[in-house]
Chains A and B, each alone.
Chain A
Amino acid sequence: MPVYQRGYRNWEQSAKRGAPPWWAIARKGISSPLGSRRFMLLLMAALVPAVVKGGFLWFAWKMGDMGNLLTGGWTDITAVGFHHFLNTQILFVAIVTTLVGSDLIAGDKREGGLALYLSRPLSVRDYIFGKGLINLFYYFMVTLFPALAICIFGYLVTRGSTGMDMLLLIPVQTILYCLFAGTVLSLTLLAISAMGTRKVFVSLWWVLLLLGTEAISQVFFFINPWLKVISFTEMIHNAGHIFYGTETTILISPYASLAIVTAWSVGAILVLRKKIQPVVVVS
């Protein structure tokens, strides 16, 4: 019988099992922005530094002077260079995560969708995990994936002369660092999104946290070098020295930065637990 002639019919369950709810949330959230041509262009623009870095690598290999040319800055092909490269992507991270993540929870709260989600058989943890994966995926899109592509490209182009470091050690270090940094950034963005209902409000606070604290710390660095501690991104970057086994360039120990960043994450989780409630009690 054609569908337009049917009344209400009970669901005849197929043999397939449904996906976990967090995966349904993540899949939908990841696929939605890809429908925008502007957003795709932005993602491609975010790959330009990686392409340039790959180009440098190829050029240096051809010139036969890799050791001299590819040292220092983001063209460096050692662990330090990759760590630095990920840090230079922060502008793209800021733009992409603001576009994708600022309305993830704020939008649901604004439209009364949160209670609708939680009327389904899913937990608050599923909801946060699913939404968090969306932020994490797009963070990886502009950091981890290009970095891994450079590693593979570099190894292939230089016919293995970059050594096994480029093929194994640096990719593993990069994956661990990106997981750490991405999780911190994702949780923090979700927490800010959960604190408001307006996208503009969330976006402003997020950009201020990512770029504003770094700018302020740069200004006050000359007064007191310890004031680097107020920079959110610098603390994540500094903690990254633990993953890459490299030496910090600031006074604050990487382990102290790790503790600070962990405290940020714990704070974000507490905010999420408090703010993500199906029923809002107005006292």
Chain B
Amino acid sequence: MTQNKIEVSGLNFAYAVQPVLKELSFTLEPAAIGLLGPNGSGKTTLLRALLGHLNNWSGEISFMGRDVSADGRSARKQIGWMPERGGILPGFSGVGMVAYLGELGGMPASDALQRAHEVLNFVGLADQRYRQADTYSQGMGQRLKLAQALVHDPQWLLLDEPTSGLDPQGRTAMLKLIRDLANDHDFGIILSTHLLSDVREVCSEILVLRDGNLLQHTKIESTAGTGTDMFSVEGTGETAAFILALENAGATVEVIKQVITVKLDSAQSVILQAAQQTNFSLRRMEPVTDSVEDVFFNLVDA
């Protein structure tokens, strides 16, 4: 599995004189990875860089062991790309377009056609596959774009705003498809989106960009807290003494309306000790988990 890694080192890119990506370095193992950042932070440009679409960039991008600058074509055999805008070829039926793009991905024509039927069935477009692709609704168009990204059976999927313009039902269905691919079929997925809720539902890691800088690459669980370092506590007794005992143990303590928030490594045992020492009766003690939203806004606002 480690040979399926994406390794980026010292990636710099500028449109004319405007730097867009600045010294990006990270390594991605196959997983569902959310690519987050405000508008203009360089998300789409980073995806384009991984596809080998950019000129005049510096640094190194290795895609499954292949240097993208030297061997972009064989790297792209293992990438399925779903663009945010466009991506529907005129003059094709749904199945015709997917099969055609499969052929361009190196498949024999008969395999490509059979495979096109399979992936269109998987994305839920089996009934509409013979319809002209440029007459599809936006939701169907997004599904078609996912199908063309899957047709040549890549190892990685680069999805640029896949739920853009979808109604709630369509969004849920699209996220379910992506989640299935990530969890059940070991795809590496990079999901570029503005919608933090999409990332929360699908991804296990996040890459956060701002102004072309990588602010954080982390697993969501570790960032969100495992429940071991931050607790919310309520109780009765000598509150001031209890807080003092916690602070003496090195904890950061916040009190808002009788709710005490304690932040410290191994906070659970420290809280229990402090409560015992000060005869503070604990009524409630719950781990506090940061949401993806908290992480994102903390990083971006910082």
Shortest CB-to-CB span from B212 to chain A, Å, is: 15
Known: A4-B121, A6-B118, A281-B15. A117 touches B87 (CB 8 A): no
Contact B148 A116 (CB under 8 A): yes
In the bound complex, CA of A104 to CA of B58 (Å): 33
A-B contacts at CB below 8 angstroms, number:
123
| A20 and chain B: residue at smallest CB distance | B106
**Cβ contacts under 8 Å, B240 to chain A:** none
**Cβ < 8 Å to A, chain B residues 47-64:** 48, 51, 53-55
Contact B150 A8 (CB under 8 A): yes
Partner of B104, one of A14, A110, A111, A120: A120
Partner of A8, one of B15, B103, B181: B181
**Cβ contacts under 8 Å, A113 to chain B:** 86-90
* Residue from the set A11, A21, A107, A279 with the largest chain B CB neighbour count within 10 Å: A11
**Cβ contacts under 8 Å, A111 to chain B:** 86-90, 134
A119 within 8 A of B: yes
A3 within 8 A of B: yes
Contact B108 A18 (CB under 8 A): yes
Shortest CB-to-CB span from B204 to chain A, Å, is: 19
Partner of A121, one of B105, B115, B126, B181: B105
Contact A120 B89 (CB under 8 A): no
Q: Please, how many residues of chain A have a CB less than 8 angstroms from a CB on the other chain?
A: 40
Contact B89 A8 (CB under 8 A): no
A159 within 8 A of B: no
**Segment of B76-84, B224-232, B242-250, B268-276 in the binding face:** B76-84
Contact A8 B185 (CB under 8 A): yes
Contact A116 B101 (CB under 8 A): yes
**Cβ contacts under 8 Å, B150 to chain A:** 8
**Cβ contacts under 8 Å, B121 to chain A:** 3-4, 6
**Cβ contacts under 8 Å, B105 to chain A:** 18, 120-121
Contact A116 B122 (CB under 8 A): no
Contact B73 A122 (CB under 8 A): yes
Known: A115-B53, A119-B81. A9 touches B118 (CB 8 A): yes
**Segment of A24-32, A91-99, A139-147 in the binding face:** A24-32
Known: A8-B185, A13-B111. A116 touches B76 (CB 8 A): no
Mask for B1-35, Cβ within 8 A of A = 1, else 0?
A: 00000000000000110000000000000000000
Q: Please, how many residues of chain B have a CB less than 8 angstroms from a CB on the other chain?
A: 49
In the bound complex, CA of A281 to CA of B14 (Å): 10
Mask for A255-283, Cβ within 8 A of B = 1, else 0?
A: 00000000000000000000001110101
**Cβ contacts under 8 Å, B100 to chain A:** 24, 28
Contact B53 A118 (CB under 8 A): yes
What are 29 pairs between A and B in contact, CB < 8 Å? A4-B121, A4-B126, A6-B121, A8-B180, A8-B185, A9-B118, A11-B115, A11-B153, A14-B108, A16-B108, A16-B110, A17-B108, A18-B107, A18-B109, A18-B111, A19-B103, A21-B103, A110-B90, A111-B86, A111-B134, A113-B89, A115-B83, A116-B81, A118-B51, A120-B76, A120-B101, A122-B73, A278-B48, A279-B53
19 further interface pairs, Cβ-Cβ under 8 Å (given A7-B122, A19-B109): A3-B118, A6-B122, A8-B119, A8-B150, A8-B185, A10-B185, A11-B152, A17-B108, A18-B106, A21-B106, A111-B90, A112-B83, A112-B85, A113-B87, A113-B89, A116-B101, A119-B76, A121-B106, A279-B48
